[in-house]
Amino acid sequence: MDDSMPAPRKRRHVFRWIFLAIQAVFVVLVITGNASASGQATESGRAGVSVGVLVIVFLWLAVTVVLGVTWLVLRATRRR
């Protein structure tokens, strides 16, 4: 065995865990927002909650696209 070669570094997947944590937060937001619609007595109250959930979904989509583009840029500029 050649001791002059350094051990290969273990790759860390920090970005992946951050991405998954953000996705989990959005899932919780959508579930709790949707669950709050059952507490609304009026039709307009339920419609307002639906609009709120829709806003959360669009924000979720936007954040996911930004994170995806960031991941692609980091991957393209990474040293090999």
Indicate the pTM of the whole model. 0.75
Residue 31: the pLDDT is 92
Q: What is the pLDDT of residue 2?
A: 58
Query: What crossing angle do the helices spanning 43-77 and 14-35 adopt, rounded to 10°?
Result: 170
Those residues with Cβ within 8 angstroms of residue 23's Cβ, 6 or more apart along the chain or in another chain: 64
Residue 40 counted as domain residue: yes
Which letter does DSSP use for residue 10 in this model? P
Q: Is residue 29 part of a domain?
A: yes
Q: In this structure, is residue 63 part of a structural domain?
A: yes
Domain tally for the chain? 1
Range of the domain at 65: 16-77
What count of other Cβ atoms lies within 10 Å of the Cβ of residue 3?
Answer: 5
Domain membership flag for residue 67: yes
Residues of the chain with pLDDT below 70 are 1-3, 80
